[in-house]
């Protein structure tokens, strides 16, 4: 079948498909026909489109004109209704305002009448008040005048009576002043005499108290005032031996040292059978600047006495032990006296007292140092307290009673209550 649809070219002998050629020719004719129909249809559609666009444009133009006419009519209608509404509201407001104005005017008139009446009442009250004050002033002036006249009369009476009494009173006062002056002078004289005696008694009590405190086993015997002798006797005791010996003390607090004290003191020692004598004096002999032995009597200051008494007591105890082991009381007393009056004992005592004095000096320096520190702290505390009081006063002045009271910072915190001395 394939051979029936093919022919050979007479020139070149090439096989040609007849069906293919016919198919191409037919396809070309169909395309041309379809293209012609398509062109006709497009032209027709284009013409219809132009007609439709013109119709739509005419419709839009008509619609626009109609909208403009409707909008114009609507605006006119709304303007008319708005004007009617405004006229109605204005009429209503005018009516209401007129009524309110009328009511306010009526109320104002009533208030004006009340104010006028009140002013008339005030004027009347002020007039009555002035009349009352004037009457009161007149009455007061009359009463004052009457009182002044009575006072003048009473003063004249009193003056006459007092003038007679004052003359006698002045004489009595002059007599009392003179007596008081004499009494004061006598008391000052007695006080000056008693001051030296009082100072001596204070030192005596201090010596007795020191001995009683430091040596509780010993017996401290006070020499009564007016009795012959010194101030006190220390009877030295131990836990095993009673009455190891006696130390005799006398206190002197005068401006000058009297040499006659030594002989009198030695006589008192013999009378009391004392083993050792100590003269505690504020004024040292002119040839002694510190503690020492003078004619068998120890002379020292009150500060040196505190170390010396311990040394002397221990020496009395040691010598008592030695004396007990030997025979003969007279020999023992002689040995005790020789030792206590020897240079060896004096040097030992001085060495011990020097150590005691050094310790006392160190203690005084430490005490002074601590007092200086305490004084600095006291000033710091005073400064803090002062600043606190100033701050509290400033806050109190600003805030008043709104600030809670601090009792310790109030004015009456440190004042005694009524009834206290």
Tens of pLDDT along the chain (421 residues) come to: 445 667 777 777 777 776 777 777 788 888 888 888 888 888 888 888 888 888 888 888 888 888 888 888 888 888 888 888 888 888 888 888 888 888 888 888 887 787 787 778 778 778 888 887 787 777 777 767 776 777 677 667 766 666 666 666 666 666 666 766 666 565 555 555 545 555 667 788 888 888 889 899 998 888 776 566 667 889 999 888 888 889 999 888 888 888 888 888 888 888 888 888 999 988 888 888 888 888 888 999 888 888 888 888 888 888 888 777 665 556 656 666 666 667 667 667 766 777 777 777 777 888 888 888 888 877 877 777 777 777 767 776 666 666 566 666 565 544 444 444 4
338 and 276 Cβ atoms separated by less than 8 Å: no
**What does the alpha-carbon distance between residue 188 and residue 186 come to, in Å, rounded to a whole number?**
5
Both structure tokens of 280 = 């505690």
Is 77 within a domain?
A: no
**What does the alpha-carbon distance between residue 297 and residue 261 come to, in Å, rounded to a whole number?**
10
Mark whether 170 and 300 lie in a shared domain. no
Which of 359, 375, 391 is the last residue in one of the domains? Answer: 375
Is 193 within a domain?
A: yes
**What does the alpha-carbon distance between residue 168 and residue 174 come to, in Å, rounded to a whole number?**
10
Which of 214, 244, 274 is the last residue in one of the domains? Answer: 214
Both structure tokens of 200 = 């001596």
- SS3 of residue 276 by DSSP: strand
Mark whether 321 and 180 lie in a shared domain. no
278 and 247 Cβ atoms separated by less than 8 Å: yes
**What does the alpha-carbon distance between residue 103 and residue 99 come to, in Å, rounded to a whole number?**
6
DSSP output for 179-244: HHHHHHHHHHHHHHHHHHHHHHHHHHHHHHHHHHHH-TTSEEEEPPTTSSS-SEEEEE--SS-S--
Is 323 within a domain?
A: yes
Mark whether 195 and 343 lie in a shared domain. no
Mark whether 196 and 279 lie in a shared domain. no
* CA distances from residue 2 to 8, 16, 18, 256 in whole angstroms, order as listed: 13, 11, 10, 181
Mark whether 308 and 198 lie in a shared domain. no
**What does the alpha-carbon distance between residue 278 and residue 300 come to, in Å, rounded to a whole number?**
7
Mark whether 206 and 249 lie in a shared domain. no
Domain span including residue 287: 217-375
* CA distances from residue 41 to 34, 44, 45, 56, 271 in whole angstroms, order as listed: 10, 5, 6, 22, 179
Is 114 within a domain?
A: no
**Quick one: pLDDT at residue 415?**
43
Mark whether 159 and 284 lie in a shared domain. no
Bridge partners of 276, per DSSP, are 247
**Quick one: pLDDT at residue 112?**
77
Mark whether 198 and 311 lie in a shared domain. no
Mark whether 263 and 285 lie in a shared domain. yes
Is 152 within a domain?
A: yes
Mark whether 288 and 203 lie in a shared domain. no
Is 269 within a domain?
A: yes
**What does the alpha-carbon distance between residue 330 and residue 336 come to, in Å, rounded to a whole number?**
10
Both structure tokens of 352 = 């011990």
Which of 170, 196, 214 is the last residue in one of the domains? Answer: 214
Mark whether 161 and 299 lie in a shared domain. no
Is 195 within a domain?
A: yes
DSSP state of 258: -
Is 123 within a domain?
A: no
Alpha-carbon Rg of the chain, whole angstroms? 70
Mark whether 229 and 193 lie in a shared domain. no
Bridge partners of 248, per DSSP, are 233, 277
User: Number of structural domains, the chain?
Assistant: 2
Q: In b/e form, how buried is each residue of 57-66, taking b as 16+ CB within 10 angstroms?
A: eeeeeeeeee
**Quick one: pLDDT at residue 109?**
82
Both structure tokens of 238 = 């131990």
């Amino acid at each position: 079948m394939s051979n029936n649809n093919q022919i050979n070219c007479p020139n070149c002998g090439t096989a040609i498909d007849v069906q293919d050629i016919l198919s191409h020719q037919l396809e070309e004719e169909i395309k041309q026909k379809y293209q012609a129909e398509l062109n006709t249809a497009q032209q027709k559609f284009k013409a219809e489109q132009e007609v439709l666009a013109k119709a739509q444009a005419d419709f839009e133009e008509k619609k626009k004109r109609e909208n403009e006419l409707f909008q114009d009519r609507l605006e006119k209608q709304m303007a008319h209704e708005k004007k009617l509404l405004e006229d109605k509201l204005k009429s209503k407001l005018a009516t209401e305002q007129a009524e309110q104005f009328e009511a306010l005017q009526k109320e104002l008139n009533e208030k004006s009448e009340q104010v006028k009446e009140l002013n008339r009442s005030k004027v009347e009250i002020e007039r009555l008040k002035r009349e009352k004050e004037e009457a009161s002033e007149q009455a007061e002036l009359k009463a004052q005048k009457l009182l002044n006249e009575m006072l003048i009369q009473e003063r004249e009476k009193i003056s006459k009576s007092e003038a007679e009494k004052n003359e006698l009173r002045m004489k009595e006062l002059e007599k009392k002043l003179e007596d008081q002056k004499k009494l004061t002078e006598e008391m000052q004289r007695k006080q000056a005499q008693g001051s030296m005696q009082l100072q001596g008694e204070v030192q005596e009590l201090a010596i007795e108290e020191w001995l009683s405190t430091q040596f509780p086993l010993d017996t401290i015997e006070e020499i009564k005032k007016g009795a012959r002798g010194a101030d006190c006797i220390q009877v030295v005791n131990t836990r095993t031996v009673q009455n190891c010996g006696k130390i005799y003390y006398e206190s002197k607090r005068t401006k000058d040292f009297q040499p006659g004290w030594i002989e009198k003191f030695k006589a008192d020692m013999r009378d009391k059978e004392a083993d050792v004598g100590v003269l505690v004096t504020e004024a040292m002999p002119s040839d002694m600047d510190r503690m020492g032995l003078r004619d068998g009597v120890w002379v020292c200051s009150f500060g040196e006495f505190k170390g010396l008494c311990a040394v002397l007591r221990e020496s009395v105890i040691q010598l008592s032990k030695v004396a007990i082991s030997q025979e003969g009381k007279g020999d023992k007393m002689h040995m005790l006296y020789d030792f206590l009056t020897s240079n060896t004992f004096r040097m030992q005592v001085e060495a011990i007292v020097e150590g005691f004095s050094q310790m006392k000096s160190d203690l005084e320096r430490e005490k002074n140092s601590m007092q200086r520190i305490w004084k600095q702290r006291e000033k710091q505390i005073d400064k803090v307290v002062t600043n606190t009081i100033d701050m509290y006063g400033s806050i109190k002045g600003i805030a008043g009673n709104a600030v809670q009271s601090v009792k310790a910072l109030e004015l009456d915190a440190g004042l005694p209550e009524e009834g206290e001395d």
